[in-house]
Homo-oligomer: A and B are copies of this chain.
Amino acid sequence: MSSILVKRIRLRLRPLDMETGRHIVVLHERDSQQLGHMPGSRIRIGANGREYVMIANVSGRLVEPGELGTFIEATEILGLKQGAEVEVSLAPQPASISAIKKKLRGESLSAEEIGTIVRDIVSNNLTTTELTAFIVAQYTRGMSMEEIVALTRHMVETGEKLEFDTKPILDVHSIGGVPGNKYALLTVPIVSAAGLKVPKTSSRAITSAAGTADVMEVLAPVDLSLEEIKRIVNRVGAVLAWGGAVRLAPADDIIIQVERHLGIDPRCQLLASVMSKKLAVGADRVVIDIPTGLGAKVCTREEARELAHDFIELARRVDVQMEVAVTYGGQPVGYAVGPALEAKEALEALKGEGPGSLIEKATSLAGLMLELGEVAPPGLGKQMAKDILRSGRALEQLRKIIEAQGGDPKIDSGDLPIGQYKQVIESPASGYVKRVYNERINAIARAAGAPIDKGAGVRILLKEGRKVERGEPLVEIYAEHENKLDEAIAVAKQNFPVLIEGMLLEKLAHRPHLE
């Protein structure tokens, strides 16, 4: 149909003083109707002898008939002033739309079709409606492993890439969902202390109290350019950078917004997202951590195993060596939750004073990486990781990384800015700790100010299986501001973060009035 609808109208430019983050214009409803245009669909704008395709919304009041309203970004790219004449016609839909419709019908997409969609996502060429349709189609129709491979490769290709002259390049990724998961601050230094390269990028917290990037930022800047990441890895062997500062597989960052909005996490997209980020940093040997347990992203071992199999199959097809670790994710890792508290705990662990759950997890993952990197014999990686940790070489290595990223290498666990407002939460009953609720610990730490207030967070004093007496301290809350401490206390009271065996869960009564 597109080729035979050549209707053109001339409109006068009317710049609108607002940013939209995209190239959006506004037609008056009369002109929209005359063009046969549907609100939100694309128009072609001829200006200065060039043609631009932009998404056009429709308004009855924002512009007059005969005017084309242009938001700031559109005005800039057109390079025209108020009143300039432009020629407007309907634009054909981008090719990706027919591919999205194919997936909506439940058909498989070719690698080429997936490439078209990914390129349009990255160049912000799809409307919210179209992007959502693609992600929902992925979720309801699924994707074959061939499609996931194509998706992964195109997500890598449409972004920037790190390339190193030597191999192997190691990387590690936890699919997350468990609070206090600061393992990377131990794992990455251990592995790089053994001479392997680890260009680790990670995210900031979105709904959690601290992402790895938030924790590392307590010790050093994490907002590094691609060139800086490469230079630091080549010099000291590893980096702990914020992934959001670089355009590695940027399609993922756009897709993930929609997934979060809808609270869905299509398996095919999860696989492609993780793998594309790893390929983009040049990694060829990767360890994946799947925290598993009640309150984590993956609840059952069976689910974890299925996901692990898919990861391994995908890795095989994109020529990456991979080990997947299923770890316990039913309660926080270590005792500390919140940026500075976690950084402190990580530094203590590197000095040999840290909690067992953190050291076990960090050295297990490091061990797999050492074996993958062929510096430890099969089965002996974890022991080597523990030796490196115990020797102090991992701490020394973290200090080198901190210095290379622009932080103070002499920083010690006692120097960290822990919030000055503190409240101890006591056990309401005697018994055994049955559960420490991930989600509730997160909510308390966030109410206390984490991750923005670096010093805010929660310290758990007794974890699952420990015996506790009524009145004994269970949890400490830290905040930088008194009112936030109060908020966090209120949250803790409303949904008590720890389950004690023998605790009254609910009180129900029916007391007949005495007659």
| Closest B residue to A71 using CB positions | B18
Are the CB atoms of A106 and B33 closer together than 8 Å?
Answer: no
Q: Is A420's CB within 8 Å of the partner chain B?
A: no
- Distance of A226 from chain B, by nearest CB (Å): 22
Are the CB atoms of A452 and B261 closer together than 8 Å?
Answer: no
A441-456 residues with Cβ-Cβ distance < 8 A to B are: 443, 446-447, 452
In the bound assembly, the distance between CA atoms of A248 and B104 in angstroms comes to: 30
| Closest B residue to A260 using CB positions | B38
- Distance of A25 from chain B, by nearest CB (Å): 14
A475-493 residues with Cβ-Cβ distance < 8 A to B are: 487, 490-491
- Distance of A319 from chain B, by nearest CB (Å): 33
Q: Is A411's CB within 8 Å of the partner chain B?
A: no
In the bound assembly, the distance between CA atoms of A140 and B5 in angstroms comes to: 30
The contact of A5 among B30, B34, B264, B443, by CB within 8 Å, is B443
- Distance of A419 from chain B, by nearest CB (Å): 15
| Closest B residue to A98 using CB positions | B263
- Distance of A499 from chain B, by nearest CB (Å): 15
When distances are taken between beta carbons in the complex, the residues of chain B under 8 Å from A462 are none
Q: Is A440's CB within 8 Å of the partner chain B?
A: yes
The contact of A106 among B140, B258, B263, by CB within 8 Å, is B140
Are the CB atoms of A140 and B129 closer together than 8 Å?
Answer: no
Q: Is A40's CB within 8 Å of the partner chain B?
A: yes
Secondary structure at the A interface, as helix, strand, loop or mixed, is helix
Binds B, one of A131-139, A227-235, A343-351, A370-378: A131-139
A118-138 residues with Cβ-Cβ distance < 8 A to B are: 127-130, 132-133, 136-137
Q: Is A16's CB within 8 Å of the partner chain B?
A: yes
Are the CB atoms of B136 and A104 closer together than 8 Å?
Answer: yes
Are the CB atoms of B8 and A487 closer together than 8 Å?
Answer: yes
A130, A132, A443, A446: residue with the most chain B Cβ atoms closer than 10 Å: A132
Q: Is A95's CB within 8 Å of the partner chain B?
A: no
When distances are taken between beta carbons in the complex, the residues of chain B under 8 Å from A19 are 59, 61-62
| Closest B residue to A207 using CB positions | B36
When distances are taken between beta carbons in the complex, the residues of chain B under 8 Å from A439 are 1, 4
Binary interface profile of A, 299-320, with partner B (CB < 8 Å = 1, else 0)? Answer: 0000000000000000000000
Binary interface profile of A, 36-52, with partner B (CB < 8 Å = 1, else 0)? Answer: 10111100000000000
- Distance of A13 from chain B, by nearest CB (Å): 17
- The size class of the interface chain A forms with chain B is 35 or more
In the bound assembly, the distance between CA atoms of A25 and B374 in angstroms comes to: 54
The contact of A137 among B33, B62, B106, B140, by CB within 8 Å, is B140
On whether A447 and B6 interact (CB within 8 A), knowing A128-B129, A132-B133, A206-B38, the answer reads: yes
When distances are taken between beta carbons in the complex, the residues of chain B under 8 Å from A97 are 262-263
Q: Is A167's CB within 8 Å of the partner chain B?
A: no
Q: Is A7's CB within 8 Å of the partner chain B?
A: yes
The contact of A18 among B1, B8, B16, B133, by CB within 8 Å, is B16
Binary interface profile of A, 206-226, with partner B (CB < 8 Å = 1, else 0)? Answer: 110000000000000000000
- Distance of A236 from chain B, by nearest CB (Å): 30
| Closest B residue to A452 using CB positions | B34
On whether A132 and B136 interact (CB within 8 A), knowing A40-B261, A101-B263, A443-B1, the answer reads: yes
When distances are taken between beta carbons in the complex, the residues of chain B under 8 Å from A139 are 104
On whether A261 and B130 interact (CB within 8 A), knowing A140-B136, A490-B6, the answer reads: yes
20 interchain pairs (CB within 8 A)?
A: A4-B443, A4-B495, A6-B487, A7-B487, A19-B59, A30-B452, A36-B446, A38-B260, A101-B264, A104-B140, A104-B262, A104-B264, A128-B132, A129-B132, A129-B262, A130-B261, A136-B137, A136-B140, A137-B140, A140-B140
**Sample of 17 further A-B pairs with CB below 8 A, known A16-B18, A41-B261, A101-B264:** A1-B439, A3-B494, A4-B494, A4-B495, A5-B491, A17-B17, A18-B18, A39-B257, A101-B262, A104-B264, A106-B140, A128-B129, A128-B132, A130-B262, A132-B136, A136-B136, A137-B140
